[in-house]
Structure 1
């Protein structure tokens, strides 16, 4: 694996109990979890030399990496570093200027995402992928009930039995700590933290293999952030999800991710196992990010 900086993937080791068990388990360090990631030796997603330019301005440049099944990758950097541009390119929300992104489908076949039709990419987003926005209103229908928001995604995959859809919605609201008696309430009646949990339920109800998260705790109170992060960590581990998390908060990266990429001015300047990058940063910019957190 190559990037603008060195991006050697963690050594792949066969593990027992693949799939759900391949995620991080309680008491396991990031290094141990990274050695136990993935169901096989084939990456789930491969980005090669992805660049996005806005005229003369660089959004991101020559970014390459591999994401393995069950792995959580954090992309960190300050505002304007290019991390959100990269996320949007990888998730097909934005067309890159150059480069390619290859994804391994559930049937085992691999496809280059930007050679797929728009309809195929939309289906991928409804079934195998999820996207958690920083602002929950961007990922929810605010005038549709909580149950309807969750059920709508099930209906997009072919579910039609009202009782089954409502039962699945009820189950998922419970899993994200939203009371059953709020199922018919609209998201505009919810707090920010509840809206974010509802958005997570909406994304996970179809059992995606990969989820993208753009500053998932941004704008929330510290206590609400902690509760949401604990919920996310449990769900990602229990479901064996792969995830790409964009965040400026290194505490979020440490709690959720196995591996980290640090971006500055559109380039990846450092990458490695999360604990290694945070405990022993090698680049001056990464050292500055880490020290600023320690001094805060």
Structure 2
């Protein structure tokens, strides 16, 4: 099924009263592909991400997802229970602020283990072993397994949130500015880690970022948004090296001048 899209989006729109959040967005996402959604603050990229991940209910359009059995399902026609199961198993969501994606009052190991319990794992030994393995995979020392996230740095919290999301082997992960608010050196380390995990696990990722350097490093394809519209899309290197729309040219030149 590698030659079939994992996600098909057609005419997706979300409005806030008379204001456009995003409108008439269509694209296919392929297995193992990383798609970056870029644009300035207020461009609609976060609204689009939240609509795609069903955190917001779209006002128009269709989102179809290819299940593990190969069947293409319309997300809007799923029951609430089916959608919740999808979010706990096949999908992940990495927040910009790790505290939004973690339980800060329980241990690092419990944060990872909870997601395994949500899919039916009840064996304490195997849950703890999986949590230990994932902490090491995201470069958190195994002796921190019983520490709470509040004792971690911002970069460590973000890596813990990534481990919590990936422990159930999802096929699609949504990321909202995952490097935002981190020091440059911490950002670089996190990006290296993300690139390695995406490649090793064959993940499909939709990542929102205002940072074109992040988009270039991690994504295969890019969509540029302005005022709720996708104004340009294509292979990441093509869009950044040869932007066709004046707005994209402005974005790229502002990075070069920074």
Give the TM bin, normalised by the shorter chain.
over 0.9
Residue number in structure 1 paired with 2:18: 56
Residue number in structure 2 paired with 1:257: 219
Aligned with 1:79: secondary structure?
Answer: coil
Task: State the alpha-carbon separation in 1 of the partners of residues 80 and 215 from structure 2.
Answer: 32
Match of residue 267, structure 1, among 204, 220, 229: 229
Task: State the alpha-carbon separation in 2 of the partners of residues 166 and 285 from structure 1.
Answer: 49
Residue number in structure 2 paired with 1:182: 144
Structure 1 gaps of 5+ residues are: 1-38
Task: State the alpha-carbon separation in 1 of the partners of residues 2 and 149 from structure 2.
Answer: 39
TM-score (norm. length: structure 2): 0.99
Listed one character per residue, the Cα deviations across residues 183-240 of structure 1 (whole Å, up to 9, x for unaligned) are 0000011000000000000000000000000000000000000000000000000000
Aligned with 1:64: secondary structure?
Answer: strand
Match of residue 188, structure 2, among 222, 226, 232: 226
Match of residue 101, structure 2, among 118, 123, 139: 139
| Matched residue count | 258
TM-score (norm. length: structure 1): 0.87
Indicate yes or no: 2:238 matched with 1:290: no
Task: State the alpha-carbon separation in 1 of the partners of residues 144 and 153 from structure 2.
Answer: 12
Listed one character per residue, the Cα deviations across residues 75-133 of structure 1 (whole Å, up to 9, x for unaligned) are 00000000000000100110001111000001111111011011100000001000000
Aligned-residue CA RMSD (Å): 0.5
Indicate yes or no: 2:77 matched with 1:77: no
Indicate yes or no: 2:186 matched with 1:238: no
Task: State the alpha-carbon separation in 1 of the partners of residues 111 and 69 from structure 2.
Answer: 28
Runs of at least 4 residues off by over 3 Å: none
Match of residue 171, structure 1, among 125, 128, 133: 133
Task: State the alpha-carbon separation in 2 of the partners of residues 107 and 216 from structure 1.
Answer: 30
Structure 2 gaps of 5+ residues are: none
